[in-house]
Amino acid sequence: MLKSIKEIDVRFNELDPLGVVWHGNYIKYFEDGRENFGQKYGISYNDLKRERIVAPIVSVKCDFKKFVRYGEKLIIETTYTDNLAAKFVLDYSIIVKPRMNWLQKGQTVQVFTDIEGNLILIWPAFFREWKIKWGLTK
């Protein structure tokens, strides 16, 4: 299982008028986790760019369980979910520190396209190599 951990502080500008994190910011937190995961495992946006591949998000899911307030420290756990399709699926857990209460869970699905936007239906060569490197396929 490939997983990364990113810690962040909730900033004042992320709050809504009720004093809790505005729901749209959780998608930004997923992005923080996705960037951290990509840097750790060598599949960052810059890696994709070098391969002339784009990976647009085609699906986002977020389940909200508890509010998050200004000044809290969050842990974003990002986990790769392997599959046979030519897509990149990441699952997220957002946990408040130090209580370690689970707050939100989510998932993003990305597909691969060339730089002109044409959908790639089989694993791009770099993605196959990446999966082999991390023991996800032979």
Q: What residue ranges do the domains of the chain occupy? A: 3-133
For 75, the token pair is: 């842990």
Whether the model clears a pTM of 0.85, i.e. scores above it, the answer is: yes
Residues 85-110: pLDDT tens digits?
Answer: 999 999 999 999 877 677 889 999 99
Residues 33-49: pLDDT tens digits?
Answer: 999 999 999 999 999 99
In the set 16, 63, 82, 114, the catalytic residue is: 16
CATH superfamily ID and name for 3-133 = Hotdog Thioesterase (3.10.129.10)
Quick check: is 9 catalytic? no
